[in-house]
Amino acid sequence: MRPGRVAGAFASPVATVAMLPIDEPPLTAELIRSRHGAVLARLRAAAEAAGRDPEAVRLVAVTKGFGSSVVREALAAGLRRFGENRVQEAMAKMSAAPDAEWHLVGRLQANKARPAVRAFAAIHSVDSLELLARLDRIAIEEGRAPRALLQVNVTGEVSKAGFTLDWFVDAVSKPGRLSSTLAALAGVRLAGLMTIGPAGASPDASRRAFATLRRLRDQLEQLSGAALPELSMGMTADAEAAVAEGATLVRIGTAIFGPRPA
């Protein structure tokens, strides 16, 4: 069951300060397993509170900044779904976990499109129709069928990539370039939408941002006539708000691996 709609414009974010441990312990399989379990419990509780099936929420463990040794410890802890921000950084780690499911969650440069199609099961950060079409052509050439998500910058923050909110709202309201591009896809499988929540926001402001993405996904489903089951949204600080608004893929790094190495 999809959560109910949340109305209203974005409120002014309430600044929060994330307190990080000064002395981070070694990342052993046991520690990663414990932290991973704690995050899963958070996600399950948030899903149940929203009247959702907890099994519909999946965690993507983001290993940005950590080396292959940490990925191996994570594998020993039972993790099998990983997220990376950069194609090049991911390559060395993939050799340590060739059977894992790898997701690209960071911005993708056009010149890295081919290695991304070859390597990743899902690409969360497609931020232009030109990039989507390029990925589709390469997927056909490579005999691959990665899942793709369109990234929407719902908050309008200049530091964030993605389709602008105004453009996307207009694009899902009527047939046009977006719908025709989606109809032409033959290699890439469009799976849904992705966003990054507002920085330092209150839970209510985060929920409004995530509810906006959900409504856009629903409208795009109606426009395209295709099922778009995935909503990639929520990280360590705003995971519960994302789950309450329908997240199916939650990108978690700090809560599992701690602060990234300097």
For residue 74, the domain's CATH number is 3.20.20.10
pTM: 0.89
Low-confidence ranges of the chain (pLDDT < 50): 1-22
Residues 6+ apart with CB under 8 A from 253: 61, 62, 63, 64, 83, 235, 236, 260
Strand blocks (E) in 64-205? 81-84, 101-104, 122-126, 147-153, 163-164, 189-194
Q: How far apart are CA 101 and CA 71, in angstroms?
A: 12
Q: CB–CB of 243/12 below 8 Å?
A: no
C-alpha to C-alpha distance for 137 and 50, rounded to whole angstroms: 39
Look at residue 262 in the predicted model and tell me its pLDDT.
61
Q: Treating both helix axes as pointing N-terminal to C-terminal, what angle do 68-76 and 29-49 enclose, rounded to 10 degrees?
A: 70
Q: What is the pLDDT of residues 135-158, one digit of tens each?
A: 999 999 999 999 999 999 999 999
Q: Would you say 83 and 251 are in contact if contact means Cβ atoms under 8 Å apart? A: yes
Cα–Cα distance for residue pair 200/237, rounded to 1 Å: 9
Q: How many domains does the chain have?
A: 1
Q: Residue 15: inside a domain, yes or no?
A: no
CA angle 106, 108, 112 (to 5 degrees): 130
Instruction: Give a yes or no: residue 137 inside a domain.
Output: yes
Q: Tokens in use for 169?
A: 């709202």
E strand or H helix that includes residue 61: strand 58-62
HEC per residue, 185-199: CCCCEEEEEECCCCC
DSSP 3-state assignment of 84?
strand
Phi, psi at residue 213, to the nearest 5°? Answer: -65, -40
**Residue 18 is assigned to a structural domain of this protein:** no
Q: Which of 82, 116, 96 is nearest to 249 (CA)?
A: 82
Domain of residue 211 covers: 29-257
